[in-house]
Amino acid sequence: MLWRKFNGEPIELPIKAAVEKAIQKETEEGNKLKVCIGTDSQVKGKDTEFATVIVFLREGRGGFMFIHNEKTIQKYSIKERMLVEVAKSIEIAYELCVLFTTYDVDMEVHADINTNPHFRSNEALREAMGYILGMGFAFKAKPEAFASSCCADKMVN
């Protein structure tokens, strides 16, 4: 899986090592971190592109993020696509959760799913929430899910 920084610079380390290095650096600089993980997608013709982000928030001092993009030609219903987004976020959260526990970093998984039943993405809300909470992770949906609905949204080309 290829990850990059917001400025486009590739992350050469495996993502777990890169996240640990970032946490250590921020902790040494006296920053209290919170991490939010989210995925968004966009359908363009036959392609569906997904962007997954790991957003590091420095308490009172801004933040930064790591980004991963991937494309597929698989067709999804809106509900399937929302659940694939959640699965991608959970996959990375699960891979990294031991680091967050070790370094006492709060982590949330953000789902780009509307809590308003008038939106089509709402069809996936119950399943997504159950999936995330069932894995033991904190969950946010729109409008609080900025990692997926704002950060990842901007990274889907």
Its pTM stands at 0.93
pLDDT band, residue 10 (cuts 50/70/90): very high
Q: 112: domain range?
A: 3-155
Percentage of the chain beyond pLDDT 90 is 85
- Looking at residue 157, its pLDDT comes to 66
Closest CA to 76 of 129, 28, 114, 121: 121
Residue for token pair 């991490």: 35
Q: Please, what is the angle between helix 78-102 and helix 15-28, to 10°? A: 50
Closest CA to 64 of 145, 6, 18, 108: 6
pLDDT digit string (tens) for 58-117?
A: 999 999 999 999 999 999 999 999 999 999 999 999 999 999 999 999 999 999 998 888
The alpha carbon torsion through 92, 89, 148, 69 (nearest 10 deg) reads: 70
Q: Could you tell me the CA-to-CA distances from 154 to 46, 65, 108 in Å, in that order?
A: 20, 12, 19
pLDDT band, residue 8 (cuts 50/70/90): very high
The burial of 101, by beta-carbon neighbours within 10 Å (0-12 exposed, 13-18 middle, 19 or more buried), is given as: exposed
- Looking at residue 141, its pLDDT comes to 92
- Looking at residue 120, its pLDDT comes to 81
Q: Taking the chain, what is the end-to-end CA distance rounded to the nearest angstrom? A: 17
How many domains does the chain divide into? 1
Chain centroid offset of residue 35 CA: 9
Q: Which amino acid is at 51?
A: A
Lowest mean pLDDT among 8-17, 33-42, 126-135: 126-135
- Looking at residue 84, its pLDDT comes to 96
- Looking at residue 49, its pLDDT comes to 96
Residue 24 CB contacts under 8 Å (≥ 6 apart), including other chains:
103
CATH number, domain at 142?
3.30.420
Quick check: 62 and 52 in contact, CB under 8 A?
no
- Looking at residue 9, its pLDDT comes to 97
